[in-house]
Structures are given as C-alpha cells and as structure tokens.
Amino acid sequence: IQQPNLTNEYEYTDYVYAAYGTFSHKIPDVLNYQLGLRAESSRYDGEQIGKQNFHNSYPLSLFPSVFVTKNIGDKQDIQLNYTRKVNRPNFFQLMPNTDYSDTLNLQTGNPNLKPEFTNSLELSYQKTYGQKNNTFLATLFGKYTTDLIARYQSMQAFGDTTALIASYINASTAYAAGLELIFRNNLTPWWELNLNTNVYYSKINGSDVVEGLENERTSSFTKMNNTFKITKTWSVQFSGDYQSKSALPVSTGNSGNKGGGGGGWMSGPPSTTQGYIDATFGFDIGIKKDFKIKKNQASLSFNMNDIFRTRKYIVHSESPYFVQDEWRRRDPQVARLNFSYRFGKFDMNLFKRKNTRSESEGMGGGMDSQ
C-alpha cells in the first residue's frame, strides 16, 4: 500500500565555483616557503517533488595556506603551516526525508545546514636516518572549526506517541589539539613498516543551538601498515587501525574542499554532540604483482578491506530524557581487482605523508560528521 506521506522523491543540484593559485620560493641556506589562496562560493538547490523547495547560497570565501620549511642540518627539517578549509554538508545530511524504518528512532536530514570552516596550525619535525632512509615525523597540531556539522538527537511527538529523531545541526564551534607521530622503517630488505599514531583532545560546543550542549574527550588513533616483498615482483600488504572512544573521530578520507565530508546514513562514524563513538578497529590486506609491458611498468593488485569483519560503529547517545546505543557497519566487505599501466615519467616515492587525522580529527577539511 503506497502512503504518500512516507514517499519521497528528491532532486538536488550542488554548484561550486572556485579559483586558486600558489607561489613557492626557496631562500638558499635559509628556508623554503609556499603561499596559496583559494576563492570559493557555492549554491545548493533541492526539490522534494510535490512538497517543497530548498535554496541555499553560500557567499564567496577565501582559503589561504602558508607552508614554511627550514632545514636544520643532518637530514632534519622543521615545518610550520597554516590552512583554512571548508567542508560542505553531503546529500544525506541535507535530504529532508524522514526514515521510518525504526519507528522509535527516526532519522532525517536538515536542508538548512551550512558549510563548516576550519583553521589549522601545525608544527612538524622530520628526521631521515639510517642507510635505508628511514623517516621519523612528529607533528603538533591545533584545529578550530566554526559551524561544525554534527549529529543531534531529540524527542518529538508524533500523534499519540513520542519518537526519538536524529538529525544534523551546525554546532557553534569545535576544536582539537594533539600530537601525531609517524615512523617509516625498512626493517629488512623484504619488510617495510609504516606506523602512525596520534593522541588528541577535542571539544564540541553547541550551546548556541541547545543551552549547555557540549562534548569533550581525549582520544587516540593508531594505524600500522606492513609491506612484505615476497619476490622482486610480488608483494603483500597487511594493515590495521584502531580508533579509541571519540567525539570527533579520525578519518583517513580527506574531505578537503570537496563536498560532503562523510556522515550520511551509509557512511562512516559521525561527530556527535551527545555521548561518544565507541572504539573500533579493522584489518585490510592486498597482494600486488609488478611486471613490464614492452618498456613500461604495469601492475595487477587484489585488495580486500575489513577482512575479519570487525569494523562496526557503536554510537552511545545520552541526554536528560534518553540513553541509547546503536551500531552499524560503514561499508560492506569489498574485494577489488585493479590493473595499472604507467608510461612516461612518474614519482617513484612510495612514502608520502598521509594525514590520517584526516583533515578531521576533529577538524581539517571539516570533521567527519553524521
């Protein structure tokens, strides 16, 4: 039986207009620096067919970046950088349709969400050591976000009953500060170990939405990646990660200036203003075969994520009138077969720093939020 009030047809268009430029310069024996500036405006148009229309325009904003690097001798460098970034709400966060699949725990989007903006400051120290060019990198970071997109639950009356409804709000501010350590070590000719760990404090302030709405927590994130060279052309990669309890979870996805930094109903763990996201962990595996086609390099690889099916996100929410625990899985267990063919000049440096705080942690390209 079709029920018009429960039927939803939604069309939307997301417009982003941007321009950017960078300038870099090296002062011999002193330092290197790079300056960047991005200008961006955006517009969102949504139509709930037969019901209502939504139009949001976001004015022109500027996003500067500054990177200053100085060599302090003996394969050691320090870097200071500042960036400002934006994270726009995604489709699921904006869609006003209510999900009634659980009649006591409804979910809906908020078409009036605004983008969140993050200012980040980092101070890094890097040292290369040993005959195999092993690397150690330590970074102190601080991030401050306005209009954080975060999940919020409240009780609402529906006819003769009361239901819990989850949606998304723009919390007034949020910030995170912490320390990240990255190690890259060629332990043997056939074993390379990359280890990333960080500890950070985060706080969300939503008191402008609901009086007294705050959430703070100290959390940690660790990721280990092992690469084993079986032969000259065969290699196996095994990685695992662990995220402790958090209010602002780490994400390896880089939201950056892209739209939708996560948090749809089928996406990753949210930023939450009530309670916490419980600890989670998982493991991935990959196998790669390198070979040549004529004079060019090619490779065939097989990868599988969450091989032990342990990645599930448990969200504990609480307020004066409810306590709730819910869990879900982010993505299905997926196996991928990839073929790549490289020609011309390309970068052979396999170790490039990955900011596994994501621009997120709580802030960077916007926090992962639901």
Please tell me which of 63-77, 87-101, 153-167 the model is most confident about, judged by mean pLDDT: 63-77
What count of other Cβ atoms lies within 10 Å of the Cβ of residue 164? 18
In this structure, is residue 111 part of a structural domain? yes
Which has more pLDDT, 230 or 355? Answer: 230
pLDDT at 361: 39
In this structure, is residue 143 part of a structural domain? yes
**Cα–Cα distance, 104 to 41 (Å, whole number):** 39
**Cα–Cα distance, 4 to 2 (Å, whole number):** 6
Q: What are phi and psi of 254, to 5 degrees?
A: -100, 105
In this structure, is residue 370 part of a structural domain? no
pLDDT, mean of residues 18-26 = 97
Q: Please report the beta strands in 90-133, taking only residues with DSSP state E, as ranges in sequence order.
A: 98-99, 105-108, 116-129
In this structure, is residue 285 part of a structural domain? yes
Residue 136 has pLDDT above 60, yes or no: yes
pLDDT at 69: 97
In eight-state DSSP terms, residue 4 is: G
In this structure, is residue 134 part of a structural domain? yes
pLDDT band at 241 (very low <50, low <70, confident <90, very high): very high
pTM here is: 0.77
In this structure, is residue 250 part of a structural domain? yes
Tally the residues of the chain. 370
Q: What would the two tokens of residue 177 be?
A: 């500060």
Residue 328 has pLDDT above 90, yes or no: no
What residues pair up with 163 in beta bridges, in sequence order?
156
* Helix ranges restricted to H, the chain: 91-94
pLDDT at 294: 78
**Cα–Cα distance, 235 to 128 (Å, whole number):** 24
Please state the separation of Cα 21 from the chain's center in Å. 24
Count of structural domains, the chain: 1
pLDDT, mean of residues 177-190 = 95
Residue 297 has pLDDT above 80, yes or no: yes
Q: What is the mean pLDDT of the chain?
A: 82
Helix/strand number for the chain, H first, E second: 1, 18
How do 31-48 and 10-27 pair as beta strands?
Answer: antiparallel
Q: Which domain holds residue 296?
A: 4-342
- Report the percent of the chain where pLDDT is more than 70: 83
In this structure, is residue 365 part of a structural domain? no
Q: What would the two tokens of residue 216 be?
A: 């703070």
DSSP notation for 114-174: --EEEEEEEEEEEEEETTTTEEEEEEEEEEEEEEEEEEEEEEEEETTEEEEEEEEEEEEEE
In tens, the pLDDT along 25-47 reads 999 988 999 999 999 999 888 88
